A = this chain, B = another copy of it.
Amino acid sequence: MIVVQTFLLMFPSVCQGLLRLTGNILRNSAALSSSSATTDVIREAQQEMNKMNILFSQYDNPPLLWSSHEEAQCFIDEKLDAILFDCDGVLYRSPDEIPGAGDCIRRLLDAKKEVFFVTNNAASNRRQLQSKLQKVLGVDGLTEDMMVSSSFSCSEFLRKKFLPSLDLDPTTQKRIHVIGSEGLCEEIRQAGFLVTCGDDSDTSSMSREDLATYTFPEDPIDAVVVGHDINFTFRKLCIGNVLLQRNSQAPLIATNLDSFDLVGNDARHIPGNGCVVKALEYSSGRTAINVGKPSKLLADIVLGDRKIDPSRSMIVGDRLDTDIQFGQSSGMYSALVLTGVTSASQIEMIVKGESEEPMPSIIMPHVGIMA
**Interface residues, chain A, with chain B CB atoms under 8 Å away:** 94, 200, 203, 205-209, 211-213, 229-234, 237-238, 241-242, 245, 259-261, 263-265, 268-272, 274-276, 278-285
A88: nearest chain-B partner, CB-CB: B208
Chain B residue with Cβ nearest A245: B269
- In this complex, what residue of B is CB-closest to A244? B269
Expressed in whole angstroms, the Cα–Cα distance for A232 and B234 within the complex equals 5
Give complex CA distance A190, B269 in Å.
Answer: 32
Beyond A229-B234, A233-B232, A234-B232, whether A275 also contacts B270 by CB under 8 A is no
Closest chain B residue to A206, Cβ basis: B230
A-B contact pairs, 23 of them (CB 8 A): A94-B208, A200-B205, A203-B203, A206-B270, A208-B261, A208-B263, A211-B263, A212-B263, A212-B264, A212-B268, A231-B233, A232-B237, A234-B276, A237-B271, A237-B275, A238-B271, A241-B260, A241-B269, A245-B268, A259-B282, A259-B285, A260-B284, A275-B282
Q: Which residues of chain B are within 8 angstroms of A270 by Cβ–Cβ distance?
A: 206, 208, 211, 238, 241
Q: How long is the Cα–Cα vector from A5 to B259 in the complex, in angstroms?
A: 69
In whole Å, how far is A183's beta carbon from the nearest beta carbon of chain B? 14
Residues of B within 8 A of A261 (CB): 208
- Output the residue of A94, A229, A237, A263 with the most chain B CB within 10 A: A263
The answer to whether B271 touches A241, judged by C-beta atoms less than 8 angstroms apart, is yes
Closest residue on chain B to residue A234 by CB atoms: B232
Give Cα distance in the complex from A206 to B275, angstroms. Answer: 15
A276 contacts across to B, CB distance below 8 A: 234, 279
A201–B203 Cα distance when bound, in Å, is 10
Q: In the bound complex, what is the Cα–Cα distance between A94 and B212 (angstroms)?
A: 12
Given contacts A203-B233, A259-B283, A274-B282, 10 further A-B contacts (CB under 8 A): A207-B230, A208-B263, A211-B268, A212-B263, A231-B233, A245-B268, A271-B280, A271-B282, A278-B278, A278-B279
- Can you list the 4 inter-chain pairs with the closest CB atoms, starting with the nearest? A212-B264, A203-B203, A271-B283, A275-B279
Residues in B neighbouring A269, C-beta threshold 8 A: 241-242, 245, 283-284
Q: Which residues of B contact A279 (CB under 8 A)?
A: 271, 275-276, 278-279
Q: How far is the CA of A94 from the CA of B209 in the complex (A)?
A: 10
Q: Tell me, in angstroms, the Cα distance from A242 to B263 when the chains sit together.
A: 11
Name the B residues within 8 Å of A238 (CB-CB): 270-271
Complexed CA–CA distance, A265 and B260 (Å): 38
Which residues of chain B come closer than 8 Å to A268, judged between CB atoms?
Answer: 211-212, 242, 245
Tell me the smallest distance from the CB of A88 to a CB of chain B, in Å: 10
